[in-house]
Amino acid sequence: MLSKKNRYTVTTLFFLTFFLLSIFFFFFTPTTLRSPPPLHSDLYLRLQPLSPPPPPQPHQLHSSTETQQSEPASSTDDYVAGKESESETVTDPLEKKSDEESESGTVTETVKNSDKESESGTVTETVKNADKESEAATVTETVTNADKESEPETVTENVDNADKESEAETVTESVDNADKESEAETVTGNVDNADKESEAETVTENVDNADEESQVETVTGRVENAKDCDLFTGTWVRDDNYPIYQPGSCPYVDEAYDCKVNGRNDSLYTKWRWKPHGCDLPRFNATDFLVRLKGKRLMLVGDSMNRNQFESILCMLREGLQDKSKMYETHGHKITKGRGYFVFRFKGYDCTVEFVRSHFLVKEGVRINAQGNSNPTLSIDRIDKTYGRWKRADILVFNTGHWWTHGKTARGINYYKEGDYLYPKFDAVEAYRKAIQTWGRWIDNNINPRKQIVYYRGYSSAHFRGGDWDSGGSCNGETEPVLNGSILNNYPLKMKIVEEVIQGMKFPVKLLNVTRLTNFRKDGHPSVYGKNTMGGKKVSTRKQDCSHWCLPGVPDAWNELIYSTLVFQQTKSRH
């Protein structure tokens, strides 16, 4: 009896000792006797954020990690759409957190298991507190993949049970693409279950384009068949959402074009929108246009018609600024017809919009005649003296035309020069052709098509009745566009010459062919309202302006076309 009892006692003690030793090695050997293996260097590089992380804040060292569900913030570089335009929500990429004191990067996954129906693997709880200054509980789940030893994943499960009143579920997925280091996509899923059963997802795509200085992510308006659409063949449609800026509201409209302030009472001429037959123009978005101009110089070069367009674009872009003081003329000059050079800077966008006066785009000069008097000349084989400023622009808009119809230019007597030779008489149309050819050669030889964009704005139609600008011509009383008739088919020889020259150039000049769309608008000129008629002032009706345009008005459509070509060009490049 005694020997049996001793055998039973020895056996029991042996198994009990073995069991206790197993428990000891099972729980304490992986965590306390071994340090975790370091991350493979390749994996470490892939897990690093693109930029150095900020130092950990005190609240990040708190004992428990709160997982909060939040809405993605709108990017500061997102474009603000107008009242009628569509806006795209652009969200910031998920913030990547890296703790310099830890030895491994983690992808955080919070697992919610309310009914305890699923099976869970082995969970090891590691408590690391070097200085014993804070209490932190971290539950680490290690997933080992036998088939893929080169791609280890560490999944950290954070459970916050402070108040046990609510449960939050956040899943963050990081995708590493080794073939494309310049593009990163972050997908953020936000689930709102407060009052609705549906799930909402926001996808944010960040595109890094090394060949461009700025990114344009918003295309305003609806673009249909842009590739094949002729933007310059169409009609004017009534649109009560117009004008883009209110009459009398823009301080950059000089007196000659400020028809409302000068006493014009009708306003229908401001309510028309240009509509091409084959597509819809994108709705003008001033903020988007400014973003496209960021870091660039837009320069309009030409006669007073281009100054008319210059003042228009200033007023249109001004609508995209909440703080109007962020826009100013760099030398403090007020716009007047007596000055030939203006530079407006848009603070915050680092861009400028400039005007350079050049009536003919070729060099004007003077000669001294036999009587000792000076007479003007035009060197049709030499570029205008302001060309030095043209070279510095990123986007150029040229025009010339109306000065070629003036007396001395039209007569061509002792006026045109080639080299040192002064023609006793020379045909004005042929002189125009040679001047445009001179301009075209200069563009081909001096402007870089990879870095610069060049527009040539076509001839703008005048609407004089019973004479010309200096012979009693009139357009007073016109309040609606011409919607039919032979005038709509007018196309001057000057425009055919421009088309021929541009087709023969190496540089891809964009022709803003506004001639036909201006044929409609006999109602848009200042007529007698080029001067202030308020306060009982009498203005002569003998000399009316039926060449230039009231602002807001027709030149706004020219700038909408520039904006549209930039939008369409981006759309094509993406496809």
Q: For residue range 283-325, what is the model confidence (pLDDT) as tens digits?
A: 999 999 999 999 999 999 999 999 999 999 999 999 999 999 9
Distance spanning both ends of the chain, measured CA to CA: 95
What is the CB-side half-sphere exposure of residue 181 using CA atoms within 13 A?
6
Spatial CB neighbours of 516, under 8 Å, sequence gap ≥ 6: 232, 233, 488, 489, 490, 491
CA distance 253 to 271: 18
- Write a three-state SS string for 101-130: CCCCCCEEECCCCCCCCCCCCCCEEECCCC
> Are the beta carbons of 401 and 361 closer than 8 angstroms?
no
> Are the beta carbons of 361 and 397 closer than 8 angstroms?
no
Which range is least confidently modeled, 194-198, 424-428, 546-550, 567-571?
194-198
pLDDT in tens, 237-278: 999 999 999 999 999 999 999 999 999 999 999 999 999 999
Query: In the block, which residue shows the tokens 């400023």?
Result: 389
Q: How far, rounded to the nearest angstrom, does the alpha carbon of residue 158 sit from its chain's CA centroid?
A: 41
Q: Report the candidate in 215, 236, 114, 109 with the shortest Cα–Cα distance to residue 166.
A: 114
Residue 222 one-letter amino acid: R
Kindly state the helix (H) or strand (E) to which residue 375 belongs, with its residue range: strand 374-383
Q: What's the pLDDT score for residue 10? A: 73
Residue 381 one-letter amino acid: D
Residue 153 one-letter amino acid: E
Q: What's the pLDDT score for residue 469? A: 63
Reply yes or no on whether the pLDDT at 34 is more than 50: no
CA distance 154 to 149: 13
Phi, psi of 272 (to 5 degrees): -110, 140
What is the CB-side half-sphere exposure of residue 416 using CA atoms within 13 A?
23
- Once rounded to an integer, what is the mean pLDDT over residues 143-169? 37
pLDDT interval class at 19 (50, 70, 90) = confident
Reply yes or no on whether the pLDDT at 116 is more than 50: no
Reply yes or no on whether the pLDDT at 234 is more than 80: yes
Cis link prior to 243 (omega < 30° from 0)? yes
Token pair recorded at residue 18: 């073995």
pLDDT in tens, 332-372: 999 999 999 999 999 999 999 999 999 999 999 999 888 88
CA distance 439 to 149: 67
| Burial state string for 454-465 with b = 16 or more CB within 10 A and e = fewer than 16 | bbbbbbbbbbbe
Angle between helices 493-503 and 428-446 (to 10 degrees): 30
Strands 153-157 and 107-108: parallel
Residue 226 one-letter amino acid: A
| Burial state string for 380-390 with b = 16 or more CB within 10 A and e = fewer than 16 | bbbbbeebebb
Q: What's the pLDDT score for residue 508? A: 98
Report, in angstroms and rounded to the nearest whole number, the Rg of the chain calculated over CA atoms.
Answer: 36
Identify the top-confidence range among 4-18, 137-151, 161-175, 538-552: 538-552
Query: Which positions are catalytic?
Result: 304, 545, 548
Residue 168 DSSP label: -
Spatial CB neighbours of 436, under 8 Å, sequence gap ≥ 6: 361, 400, 497, 498, 501
Strands 416-418 and 327-329: unpaired
Q: What's the pLDDT score for residue 408? A: 85
Bridge partners (DSSP) listed for residue 329? 344
> Are the beta carbons of 482 and 519 closer than 8 angstroms?
yes
CA angle 62, 68, 69 (to 5 degrees): 165
Q: What's the pLDDT score for residue 24? A: 74
Reply yes or no on whether the pLDDT at 193 is more than 70: no
Residue 17 one-letter amino acid: T
Reply yes or no on whether the pLDDT at 200 is more than 50: no
Reply yes or no on whether the pLDDT at 43 is more than 90: no
Q: Report the candidate in 305, 234, 278, 308 with the shortest Cα–Cα distance to residue 458.
A: 305
Q: How far, rounded to the nearest angstrom, does the alpha carbon of residue 496 sit from its chain's CA centroid?
A: 33
pLDDT in tens, 48-99: 333 444 444 444 434 444 434 433 333 333 333 333 333 333 333 333 333 4
> Are the beta carbons of 218 and 81 closer than 8 angstroms?
yes
Bridge partners (DSSP) listed for residue 474? 465
